[in-house]
Amino acid sequence: MQIIKRNVELRVDDSLMRVYVASPKPTGLYPGILFLSDIYQLGGAMIRLANYLAGYGYVVAAPEIFHRLEPVGLVIEPDDLGRMRGNDNARRTLVADYDADCRAVIEFLKKESSVSSEQIGTLGFCIGGHLAFRAAFMSEVKATVCCYPTGIPSGKLGKGVADTIQRVSEIKSEMLIVFGTLDPHIPENDRQSLTKVLENAGVSHKILLYEAEHTFMRDDGYRYDSAAATSAWSEIVAFYSSYLSSQN
């Protein structure tokens, strides 16, 4: 499916947040997806992932997650200096501010003429995976995909300790979580802890494990695994197809 692309500007509190929106070209009503990037914001690799999903019939809205700290449009380079900069931005951002940003994008999607307001999902990578997990606390979210989400058991997300693991019982969304078993940022004990908490809370979920490293779905990095990424995408698309429906 062909897509159209644009940027929109949303004001959250006193900050201007640019949001990249990719949506299907054919007229119709489509599910809306809150897309949350890793610490490098919206560089080529993340934009390609957003575009890819939009082509399957979703309106994908991707905010710049560090808009309070960085200039509009800034892309952080995925190198050593960029990693330091992105992690510093993450540590300086209040958890409540992340949540407010997610709420603002979901409200934007609900008002979009091409979005079925009852069909909202989330997708996130790395820190964005954690943010997508938290977005599932919102009642509008029906389907959530978290790709190698970092810091959920430990509460590591932003300034202060995130209460994510304590709030799992609030989730009503269907959950799909993608892990790499070679990922040092999410060791086996963290994966097991998160799985156990989801099970104990009765949250409907599916866990996918790939013999891959962290950020294995980024096609511009040395840890990219095309076979694992392709398999993960197949599962993600099938998952959304099961729980979110378009009306064309």
Longest dimension (CA), the chain: 46
Could you give the 3-state DSSP secondary structure of residue 224?
coil
User: Rounded CA gap, 244 and 238, in Å?
Assistant: 10
Q: How many CA atoms lie within 13 A of 187 on its CB side?
A: 3
Q: What are phi and psi of 168, to 5 degrees?
A: -55, -35
Question: Coil, strand, or helix at residue 21?
Answer: strand
From the candidates 102, 126, 146, 147, which is the catalytic residue? 126
Is 214 known to be catalytic?
yes
For the record, the structure tokens of 124 come out as 């996130």
88 flagged as catalytic = no
| Separation of alpha carbons 127 and 151, rounded Å | 8
Catalytic status, residue 13 = no
CA–CA gap between residue 103 and residue 140 (Å, rounded): 10
- The amino acid at 52: Y
Please identify which of the residues 38, 97, 101, 183 carries the catalytic annotation: 183
Task: Tell me the pairing of strands 115-125 and 30-36.
Answer: parallel
Q: How far apart are CA 135 and CA 109, in angstroms?
A: 14
Nearest to 121 by CA among 42, 176, 73: 176
**Residues whose CB is less than 8 angstroms from the CB of residue 191 and which lie 6 or more positions away in sequence, other chains included:** 179, 207, 209
Give the active site residues: 126, 183, 214
